[in-house]
Amino acid sequence: MSAEPRIGLCTVPDKGTAMRIAAALVAEQLAACVNIIPAVQSVYRWQGAVEQAEELLLLIKTSDTVWSQLQERILALHPYELPEIISVPIQDGHSNYLNWIINNLKTP
């Protein structure tokens, strides 16, 4: 089975949290790269109330083979009770870049 590249999405409350999670994921080879997008305005329902928060968004380049480990690591580092941790398969892309993603992840 060959690894399939994915984009992981995770919102965080502040830059410190973003940097801590991004650095850990890359250092532990659970992500090849993490982009940190500032100033995402989130509107969501939480415990019956509509809430708003300014957050940062992590775009995590990873693969299906390390996804479960990546989720566990985010849960261990994230301050939210229920953090957003979702992935989207990469359907197409520059083959050299997609290979770079896979080659920079630990092997299962």
- Whether residue 108 is contained in a domain is answered as no
Q: Alpha-carbon distance 11 to 64, whole Å?
A: 20
- Would you say 8 and 105 are in contact if contact means Cβ atoms under 8 Å apart? no
Tokens (6 digits) for 106: 């630990």
Q: Which residue segment(s) compose the domain that 61 sits in?
A: 5-103
Number of domains in the chain: 1
Could you state, in chain order, the average pLDDT of each consecutive group of 10 residues for the chain (108 residues)?
Answer: 92 98 98 97 97 98 98 98 97 96 92
CATH number, position 51: 3.30.70.120
